[in-house]
Structure 1
Amino acid sequence: MSPRERHWKYRLSFFYPKEEDSGVFICTTPEGYSNSIEVNIAPVHCGALNPLDPQLEIHQEDDKMTAVANFSCPLGYILHGDSSVMCLANVTA
């Protein structure tokens, strides 16, 4: 970051965020300009996946955000589609 940018660019970081860290944060420059952002921290759980086809095998160790579920088929079957999915937060406006 250039020295000029240090007067108007700010970074907000959360390490080990908790729900009580939610709120409105305001940064004000030395010149009096300000920006605000509302942050809502909430736990993300994806829940168990239930296959529609009894031949589809699902290997899911966790249901938290960034957990991965892997799909496979028994010998003689072919998997169509992605072999894994990742639990991510739904973003709605």
Structure 2
Amino acid sequence: MTGSASLPEIPRDNNEGVLELNKDLETMIENVENISVQVTWMAYDLVALRTSPELGSSLQKLEEAYRRCRAAVFGVQQPEKAEVLDPTAAAHI
């Protein structure tokens, strides 16, 4: 391959470079693991909402109660929520 000839060669005796590379690889692996966990929870939530549509309305009521309680405790009006997932909309996906 002509493209492989243009790649710089990594010095074999550079321990600092190898340690830095290992550290970078560990960081990337950790990031991928975190993303994987987030995707797994998203899939779990989707299955839970499709299995039990009333769960969405229960969560919405719980969020509203939390906002009222927080406003009462801190004496500050909380901003309105952006949007809550409609459990019936998930069934049409």
Normalising by structure 2, we get a TM-score of 0.22
Question: More strand by proportion, 1 or 2?
Answer: 1
Larger RCO (CA under 8 A, 6+ residues apart): 2
- Scaled by the length of structure 1, the TM-score of the pair is 0.22
